[in-house]
Amino acid sequence: MKHIRYQFLALLSVSVLTFTSCDLIGSIDDMEPDHVVTDLNYITDAASAQTALNGVYASWRSTGVSYLRYGIASMAHTQTQAMVMGADEFVAENIETNNSNVETAYTAYYNVINAANTFLVHINKNIPGLSEEKRTEMIAEARCQRALAYLTLLKCFGEYWKQDSQYGVCLFKDELVRDNQVRQRSSVAETYKLISEDLDYAIAHCEQHPADHYHMSSLFAKALKAKMYFAQDNYPEAARLSEEVINEAEAAGYELESDYANIFTEQFNSKEMLFAPYTANPNELMDASWFAFSPGSLLKKVADDLVPDDETGGDIVVPDPGEGGDVVVPDPGEGGDVVLPGDGDDGGIVIPGGDGGDFPFPPGEDDAASYDPLYTWAYKGEGMTGIAKYSKLTPEFMFEDSYYFMRLAEVYYIAAEAKARQGQYAKARTLLATVIERAGYTEDDVNAIADSDLLGEILKHKLCDMSNENLEEWFDLCRYNRQGGFESWTEDEKAELPSFRRYLLPIPKASMGANNLLVQNPEYVNQ
């Protein structure tokens, strides 16, 4: 794997000299090009320090980071397919070591780490105009980003659920990741130690309430550590930290949107966004086209299972325009109308943005037949043939978008599942009800769930709420496969779940070739 030594050339002024003859300047062996970032010119004052830190944030906006989401959603069967090279291997759960999607993702996350480390190497010097308080805060932001990158790498490429496993990732701490630099994989425990140290520093020194939600905050760092404990199957600590985040959220400037649609219509101003790298410069923004998707087999099944008054999973019939606005569930038992709480009466349903029989499903019988109406309408984009988040973007701006890396809603789901896995069902129900009520579900709906079914229901809602956002659907399915919680699901649903033949992605062949100390993940060694 080749890594760029310095990440922020584009962020600094570049002087270009053109010479017509080498004879005019003599030997060039000892000349330093003017555009090369050095210890002397990388950070010179407070302004260039901020520019350099902005460059770390900008490194998240890459195709390697974004395209991995296509693949993970396809592997989890929460979307039908991904329109990126090598996606068919994810769908078939037969990923090759030369998969270009995997290689670009692996490289992209190490580029983030390199960007953070480059900043950390250079920030600890005398910088005119930079206070120690601000320096500490900027270091915390960089370390939090490094922790996020390492945690993602570990969950994708390491045996993250085994504390004693040697299959961690290659660690670089406060040092540059140079071209073809060989290094052994650290253990899982060593990897978690670095992640935990970085997050503890960020919790202590990041701003609790930044001026915007595009910068790392202490609350996000704490939420990310709760997610780290989740990856370790450490449910008591995940519950403790996630509840702290929930209790501190309002004072820190975060809260759940009262209406599910506002999560996406408000875009980067959403009150529940904990972190999403963003810039107004369209040249630095990631491709957002993947938010247009068709729900995969798993997502269709779990969403259909959540349709109110349809416990046996009958299809949703969309009446023709002019026949009224009722959405009828065919009679698997007694049938009945689907009533959206607070909208309409006597079985009628009012869909935001709809008019009568206009029900905002994507075209096609299969898509229209099995997606929970309490979530679907918020996903529908104007003029799109699939379901899309951030749908208020006009077509010309569809490629000028960034992503939510974590929302406050995810913290509620973490807390709810962690409580349920410890047998604290009443608390789990309260947490679940709080986060899903803005989608139209009621406390009565949640209280009707049996204790034995609660874990499965939490996962179903989380999949509908957060699918195709932040990779978590695959990790959730892996965790449920290891720890249980599918008891409430039908046999048909279980049969549609991924085989879990492989929990990990392969280390890219190109990276293996560049680093002869790397050891390939199990089940990929013969590829």
In a domain, 336, yes or no: no
- Number of structural domains in the chain: 1
- Cβ atoms < 10 Å from Cβ of 315: 17
Return d(Cα 329, Cα 340) in angstroms, integer: 13
Q: How high is the pLDDT of residue 259? A: 84
- What is the pairing mode between strands 273-275 and 336-337? unpaired
- Cβ atoms < 10 Å from Cβ of 36: 12
- Judge residue 31's burial from the number of C-beta atoms within 10 Å of its C-beta, 0-12 exposed, 13-18 middle, 19 or more buried: exposed
Return d(Cα 374, Cα 260) in angstroms, integer: 9
In a domain, 465, yes or no: no
pTM: 0.80
- Token pair for 227: 């997610």
Which pLDDT tens digit goes with each residue over 415-446? 999 999 999 999 999 999 999 998 889 999 99
Return d(Cα 81, Cα 138) in angstroms, integer: 39
Contact residues for 132 (Cβ-Cβ < 8 A; gap 6+): none
- CATH number, position 94: 1.25.40.390
Q: Which residue has the higher pLDDT, 492 or 10?
A: 492
Distances from the Cα of 78 to the Cαs of 303, 371, 401, in angstroms?
10, 12, 22
Listing DSSP states for 437-460 in one string gives GGGT--HHHHHTS-HHHHHHHHHH
Q: How high is the pLDDT of residue 140? A: 98
In a domain, 110, yes or no: yes
In a domain, 484, yes or no: no
Query: Which of 479, 468, 425, 483 is closest to 303 using CA atoms?
Result: 468
Listing DSSP states for 139-180 in one string gives HHHHHHHHHHHHHHHHHHHS-TT-TT-S-------SS---TT
Q: How high is the pLDDT of residue 163? A: 92
Chain position carrying tokens 């959603």:
73
In a domain, 124, yes or no: yes
414 in Cβ contact with 470 (< 8 Å): no
Length of the chain (residues): 527
Q: Which residue has the higher pLDDT, 498 or 138?
A: 138
Which pLDDT tens digit goes with each residue over 143-196? 999 999 999 999 999 999 999 999 999 999 988 776 567 899 999 999 999 999
In a domain, 89, yes or no: yes
In a domain, 58, yes or no: yes
Q: How high is the pLDDT of residue 447? A: 95
The proportion of the chain whose per-residue pLDDT surpasses 70, expressed as a percent, equals 66
From the centroid of its chain, how far is CA 245?
Answer: 18
Q: Output the CA torsion sign for 182, 186, 190, 196.
A: positive
CA distance between the termini of the chain: 18
State the residue range of the domain holding 168: 9-21+41-206+506-512
In a domain, 369, yes or no: no
233 in Cβ contact with 251 (< 8 Å): no
Chain position carrying tokens 């965790």:
479
Please compute, for residue 178, the number of CA atoms within 13 A of its CA located in the half-sphere on the CB side: 4
